[in-house]
Each structure stands twice: as C-alpha cells, then as structure tokens.
C-alpha cells in the first residue's frame, strides 16, 4: 500500500482546526475520507479564488 500524507500550511491548519472546533460531530479522518472518495467518484476540480494567504520568505502573496 502506498504511503499517505497530507501537508497543510499554517493557515490551512488553522482553518481546519477552527472548522473542527465548530463542528464537533466531524473529525479530520472522516472529512478526509469523504473528500477523497467523492473525488474518486467524480474526479473534477473546480477552481475558485482562495481567501487564504501564503507567506513565502518575507513576502506575502495571495494564493489564487
């Protein structure tokens, strides 16, 4: 079986933590499993602008 890992930025981790705190019936594993299975069933990606900013070095860039 291949290795499985997911890497998140600090901002993404904070967004996930906040969501899970507000939605105690969910856990990270369940959300990840649902998202992966949904993508396998319908492998389409919808691109929408992100509101999360990404910091690289000392420059701040908006990820879109």
Whole-number pLDDT of residue 3: 74
| Residue owning tokens 């967004």 | 15
The answer to whether position 3 is within a domain reads: no
- The band of 37, judged by pLDDT with boundaries at 50, 70 and 90, is very high
Q: Which of 24, 25, 31, 26 is nearest to 8 (CA)?
A: 31
Average pLDDT over residues 8-34: 91
Total domain count, the chain: 1
Average pLDDT over residues 36-48: 88
Domain that holds residue 32: 10-62
The answer to whether position 2 is within a domain reads: no
Q: Are 25 and 34 in contact (CB under 8 A)?
A: no
Q: Are 50 and 24 in contact (CB under 8 A)?
A: no
The answer to whether position 17 is within a domain reads: yes
């Amino acid at each position: 079986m291949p290795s499985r890992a997911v890497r998140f930025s600090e901002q993404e981790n904070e967004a996930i933590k906040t969501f899970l705190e507000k939605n105690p019936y969910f856990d990270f594993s369940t959300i990840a499993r649902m998202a992966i299975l949904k993508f396998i069933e319908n492998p389409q990606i919808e691109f929408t602008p992100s509101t999360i900013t990404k910091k690289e070095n000392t420059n701040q860039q908006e990820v879109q």
